[in-house]
Amino acid sequence: MSKPYNRLDIDQAVVLLVDHQAGLLSLVRDFQPDQFKNNVLAVADLAAYFKLPTILTTSFEEGPNGPLMPELKAQFPDAPYIARPGQINAWDNPDFVAAIKATGRKQLIIAGVVTEVCVAFVALSAIAEGYEVFAVTDASGTFNAVARDAAWNRMSSAGVQLINWFGVACELHRDWRRDVEGLATLLANHIPDYRNLMTSYGAFKGAHRDPQAA
């Protein structure tokens, strides 16, 4: 059954970065390591660019899951940081849920490792409590395509919207006229082909600049 198109809203969205930890990152095989890290950092950058509330959480850091990606700590030094002592489903941690509720927002943009556990469990729990949930497909990773596709199907069937980071950025931005350079820089920083596009565009503009306007 089709559902209404509810777009991401800058004033309603909050970003949840779940368990992007050194040990867990080593399990990701549905993306190349450099590609996956780039995608995760793209989500972090778009969260910062759009000034979205961002919540970081880890699971059992002292065990084999390991520490959070240092780039995320550096990007959000003042963000809520929930180091869960053992809960596998972050939603089972009251501090994590309290941090979400404190934002007063109802749209959750979730990315994490691994997809079928750290992302899916939170997404399904949030859906059950009435939140709109958007799972960032290319900033969430797991063992293989079979595990990933099963997780996507499970979430999608429950009403979670699957979207990549590029889609998140564009849906939040809505209109190029809002800030052409800002969005273009965000995209170019994480998509080499987009940087080529902007370089070409810049050269074209320079070649066709009205000399009378100088």
Q: What is the mean pLDDT of the segment spanning 79-96? A: 98
Q: How far is Cα 57 from Cα 29, in angstroms, rounded to an integer?
A: 22
For residue 14, what are the contacts with CB-CB under 8 A and spacing of at least 6?
52, 53, 54, 55, 100, 103, 105, 107, 108, 109
Q: How far is Cα 160 from Cα 92, in angstroms, rounded to an integer?
A: 19
Sheet arrangement for strand 132-136: 81-84, 54-59, 13-18, 107-112, 132-136, 161-163
For the entire predicted model, the pTM comes to 0.92
Residue showing tokens 């996956």: 36
Pair of tokens at residue 126: 């949030």
- Residue 209's pLDDT band (boundaries 50, 70, 90)? low
Q: How far is Cα 15 from Cα 56, in angstroms, rounded to an integer?
A: 9
More confident residue, 201 or 75: 75
More confident residue, 24 or 212: 24
Q: List the catalytic residue out of 108, 118, 133, 168.
A: 118
CATH number of 13-174: 3.40.50.850
| Res. 213: pLDDT tops 50 | no
Q: What is the mean pLDDT of the segment spanning 163-170? A: 98
Mean pLDDT of the residues in the chain: 93
Whether the CB-CB separation of 186 and 49 falls below 8 Å is answered with: yes
| Res. 92: pLDDT tops 50 | yes
- Residue 13: predicted pLDDT: 98
User: Has 118 been annotated as catalytic?
Assistant: yes
Say what angle helices 180-190 and 165-173 make with each other, to 10 degrees: 180
Q: Which residue blocks in 26-119 are alpha helix, DSSP H?
A: 33-49, 70-75, 94-103
Q: What is the tens place of the pLDDT at every residue in 105-144?
A: 999 999 999 999 999 999 999 999 999 999 999 999 999 9
Fill in the amino acid letter for 158. A
- Residue 1: predicted pLDDT: 61
Domain residue extents for the chain: 13-174, 175-214
Whether the CB-CB separation of 163 and 171 falls below 8 Å is answered with: yes
- Residue 198: predicted pLDDT: 74
- Residue 214: predicted pLDDT: 43
